[in-house]
Amino acid sequence: MLMFRSGCLFLLFQEVQSYAWMSNFKAPSFENFLQSAAGSKFGDKKLVVITGTSSGLGLATTKALLRTEKYHVVGAVRNLDKMRVVAEEEGFNMEHFTPMHLELASFASVHKFVEELEQFRGDRPIDRLACNAAVYQPTLNYPKWTEDGHEQQHQINYFSHFLLTSKIMPMMQGSDDARICMLGSVTGNDNTVGGGGVYPIADLKELDGLELGCKKPIAMMDGYNFNGAKAYKDTKLACMMTCNMLHERFHRSTGIAFSSVYPGCIAETPLFREKRPWFRQLFPIFMKYVTGGFVGEEEAGQRLFQVLHDPRCRKSGVYWGWNGGPREGREDSLEKGGQISGAGGAGGGWDSIFENDQSDKVLNKDLMMKLWEYTTEITGAE
């Protein structure tokens, strides 16, 4: 029976090939043909790309997505070995999770990743992109440079995600619910105490550094001297502004929903690996009991998951946030991405999501245009 089926399929494949030859239509390989005959290798799952799934928020979000069995997640990571170990530890179903190499400190790597993704997806659209990976280098008093000559935080957190987004957007054509989400932060949005009250404050000024290419020896987008913590905050501000620009330019024509997110202060992730040990000890306590802004990794994962999954979050041009206070989301079912962990106090659960206010800097249209123009030039994005 099996032999008979394969034989029939092969004959059908030959028919397709000869039609393709006659009509100049690009014929599929036998492997792709078999996949289409059996339904796509992704079945009815939506295809999600997340950068930085090997720890922290990216990992927790992936776990929530996989629990629903409605998504195939491509984890774009710089360290495949680490990712494989983590995936094994977490018990990921590798039929629904594909790690792929992406070193955001290199534009060449972004291009290579995009090629690999293109091959991998075949004719299936990408449904979600979460630009999540980032580094925070606050203690350096000198900039570290990438192979492309940019300050590392700028390229990893912002430039490469800008380029990646421009390459993945065309792959979203055909999706009936395409979403692109970038990680912003309260520290890049200076209309609250966490953003506007703690030095250094995110500020791109007139973008003089970016205009000059923001390349060695120019480390900062504002053209001023290097400041590690400010560089990180500036990249978060730039990501949020980029989401607004993407929304204005492309939402209507493509249907893609563009949003940015502040997931809460996930004070225990490796993001703070370069901070001193005493800071790493006290920071979560300070955030839990003084500011109330703390959120555990699992719960933060639920939040980003929600932005990728909840029909409410099809809305474009939004900066999503969550209210603190007692959690009402305890009844969250597997459908909503699994249970919320007990860690952390501030989360209000699934229904506490709200459209957060954006600072005047994030909404500054003139600067947004310049940011777009200069970043396009630097990254070669189209």
Q: Which residues bind ligand PMR (CB under 6 A)?
A: 136, 138, 185-187, 193-194, 198, 229, 232-233, 265, 291, 293
Residue whose CB is less far from ligand PMR, 229 or 353: 229
Spatial distance between the Cα atoms of 171 and 168, rounded to a whole number of angstroms: 5
Contact window for ligand NDP (CB under 6 A) among 61-69, 132-140, 173-181, 197-205: 132-140
Q: Which residues in 78-117 contact ligand NDP (CB under 6 A)? A: 78-79, 82, 102-105
CA 351 to chain centre: 22
Minimum distance of ligand PMR from residue 305's CB (angstroms):
18
List alpha helices for 122-227, DSSP H.
152-153, 160-168, 193-196, 208-211
Q: Which residues in 260-279 contact ligand NDP (CB under 6 A)? A: 262-263, 265-267, 269-271
CA 291 to chain centre: 26
Does residue 292 touch ligand NDP according to CB under 6 A? no
> Do residues 168 and 114 touch, judged by C-beta distance below 8 A?
yes
In the chain, the DSSP E strands lie at 46-51, 71-77, 97-101, 128-131, 179-183, 257-261, 318-322, 353-355
- From the list ligand PMR, ligand NDP, none, pick the one residue 193 interacts with, judged by a Cβ distance below 5 to 8 Å according to partner type: ligand PMR
DSSP summary character for residue 265: B
- From the list ligand PMR, ligand NDP, none, pick the one residue 135 interacts with, judged by a Cβ distance below 5 to 8 Å according to partner type: ligand NDP
Residue whose CB is less far from ligand NDP, 209 or 263: 263
Give the DSSP per-residue string, 338-378: SPPPS--S----GGGEEE----HHHH-HHHHHHHHHHHHHH
Residue whose CB is less far from ligand PMR, 43 or 292: 292
- Out of 55, 68, 242, 375, the only residue in the binding site for ligand NDP (CB under 6 A) is 55
Minimum distance of ligand PMR from residue 277's CB (angstroms):
14
Q: Is 189 exposed, middle or buried (0-12, 13-18, 19+ CB in 10 A)?
A: buried
Residue whose CB is less far from ligand PMR, 106 or 269: 269
Minimum distance of ligand PMR from residue 265's CB (angstroms):
4
- Out of 48, 58, 92, 128, the only residue in the binding site for ligand NDP (CB under 6 A) is 58
Does residue 156 touch ligand NDP according to CB under 6 A? yes
Spatial distance between the Cα atoms of 152 and 142, rounded to a whole number of angstroms: 11
Minimum distance of ligand PMR from residue 231's CB (angstroms):
10
- Cis peptide leading into 270, omega within 30 of 0? no
Give the type of residue at 28: P
Minimum distance of ligand NDP from residue 178's CB (angstroms):
21
- From the list ligand PMR, ligand NDP, none, pick the one residue 230 interacts with, judged by a Cβ distance below 5 to 8 Å according to partner type: none
Residue whose CB is less far from ligand NDP, 42 or 159: 159
Spatial distance between the Cα atoms of 194 and 185, rounded to a whole number of angstroms: 9
Output helix, strand, coil percentages for the chain, rounded to the nearest 5.
50, 10, 40
Q: State the greatest distance between any 2 C-alpha atoms of the chain, in Å, as a whole number.
A: 72
Residues binding ligand NDP (CB under 6 A): 51-52, 54-58, 77-79, 82, 102-105, 132-135, 156, 183, 185, 262-263, 265-267, 269-271
